[in-house]
Amino acid sequence: MPEVPAEALVKVSGEHTLRGRYQVQGSKNATLHLLAAALLADAPVTVRGAPDIVDLVVYELLLQHAGWHVERDRARSTFSFEPRGGLRYEVHLGLGGLVRTTPVLAAALLARTGRVTWPRHVGGDAFCPRPVDRHEAVMRAAGAVLETSGDIITATCPSGPRAFRVDVATRYGASRGATVSALLLAARARGASLIVNPSDEPEVLTTVAFLADRGVLVNRDAEGLHVSGSDWIAGGEVDVPGDRDEAATVICAAAATGGEVRLEGIGLDELTAGLADVLRRTGISLSAAGTHGVEAKADGHLLGIEAVTGEGLLPSNAGPPLAALLTQANGDSAITEGVYPHRNTHVTPLNLFGAHLSCAGPVVRVRGGTRLHAADASAHDIRTAAAVVIAALAAPGTSLLQVGHPVWRGYQHLTNGLQALGADLTVEHQED
């Protein structure tokens, strides 16, 4: 991945039908959780299929700062590292403030060393308030004493985490990140722990499978996730599943231009039933392709729909790209955010293209059948950046998009991949 400054511009000349094959990267969020889980292992671990994105560059530096020996092979998309003495119990304050999964890394270090300091205000996309209180509750349940001084949280449990019971539900459903934090602490706790109302999102299940394959006893029943801690966790290799968020973005981009795409590196099951259902209701046909691929095609007219984001439903990260697509549908649409209080940072940028989006609380409404026009726009979070790119692809004329940094935070080769599908798209660097 090239060094792409925040001021990089993406120049798009729209109304080119996208067709062809697209290689989907490994899941961004699954990789971040797997890297944290791998810190618990007592033998070397190799994570295969990690995407080469900005957030992973930051995470690599965080791991090195914490004392891990990290080898990253970008050509083979692997992370390899092994435990060693002299581990630090701190998450680098500056770097930790750049990524959202900092609390999960903090939980891994706490499980491993019995102590951790980490920044109270973490990074990631700031489309709404995203508190870390459930992660703190998990640490306390595991016996940690937490102290806050300014922007620094210190958690201490000198004898290691104890077996615990914790509820990771929020008013908007299960917390994915807090579920993983609880899993990591429970995997190293003495005795059996219970995680109540856990998330069953694919990124969580990938972490569960990783730990179970390495000797941690994990069982899911009506009560929740039962985890029996282990004093030895094996190493080995683990493969990252395909990134369903990138898949949704590319499918929406192709459909918005009346095209079709064959995704490689992700199966129809990894796309998840909830996402597939929503895409099909808009008029997109989806089918399995080969041993590990998906064919997606806009069959005729797109249809306006109503959708709700949530576990087992439409993934929240697919909402903004879908909204861009729905501007081209017959009929109006509504997307209700069910994971966060609201998610509407894409509304104003999309309206610059002549779209008609409005928001009220958690609901974003989209007027369909809109003839878009080129625009100059910017975005500060990953999925809004993706939505803006899709709008530019569907609009006649040339758009200049200040979206370089958020795009490269979440997508390894989105611009190159779209070019290969037929997009007239270039990355330009502004002069200082």
Q: How far apart are CA 48 and CA 71, in angstroms?
A: 12
Who's near 5: CB < 8 A, 6+ residues apart? Answer: 404, 405, 429
Q: What is the helix (H) or strand (E) element at residue 255, kind and residue range?
A: helix 244-256
Q: Which residue has the tokens 């019995």?
A: 114
Q: How far apart are CA 25 and CA 320, in angstroms?
A: 19
List where CATH 3.65.10.10 sits in the chain.
9-25+242-428, 28-227
pTM equals 0.94
Q: How far apart are CA 319 and CA 248, in angstroms?
A: 9
**Cβ density class 212-229: b for 16+ within 10 Å, e for less:** eebebebeeeeebbebbb
What number does CATH give the domain 9-25+242-428?
3.65.10.10
What does the block give as tokens for 23? 């290689």
Burial of residue 401 (CB within 10 Å: 0-12, 13-18, 19+) is buried
Query: Which residue in 406, 368, 370, 371 sits closest to 387, CA to CA?
Result: 406
Are 143 and 107 within 8 A, CB to CB?
no
Q: What is the pLDDT along the chain (432 residues), one digit of tens a residue?
A: 334 445 679 999 999 999 999 999 999 999 999 999 999 999 999 999 999 998 888 888 988 888 888 888 888 889 898 877 677 888 888 888 778 788 999 999 999 999 999 888 776 555 545 678 899 999 999 999 999 998 899 999 989 999 999 999 988 888 999 999 999 999 999 999 999 999 999 999 999 999 999 999 999 999 999 999 999 999 999 999 999 999 999 999 999 999 999 999 999 999 999 999 999 999 999 999 998 999 999 988 999 999 999 999 999 999 999 999 999 999 999 999 998 888 999 999 999 999 999 999 999 999 999 999 999 999 988 999 999 999 999 999 999 999 988 888 899 999 999 999 999 999 987 654
**Residue-level length of the chain:** 432
CATH entry, 28-227, from 3.40.640.10, 1.20.1510.10, 3.65.10.10, 3.40.50.2300 = 3.65.10.10
Query: Which residue in 376, 375, 386, 428 sits closest to 409, CA to CA?
Result: 386
Q: How far apart are CA 348 and CA 292, in angstroms?
A: 37
> Letter for the amino acid at 71?
E
pLDDT at 93: 85
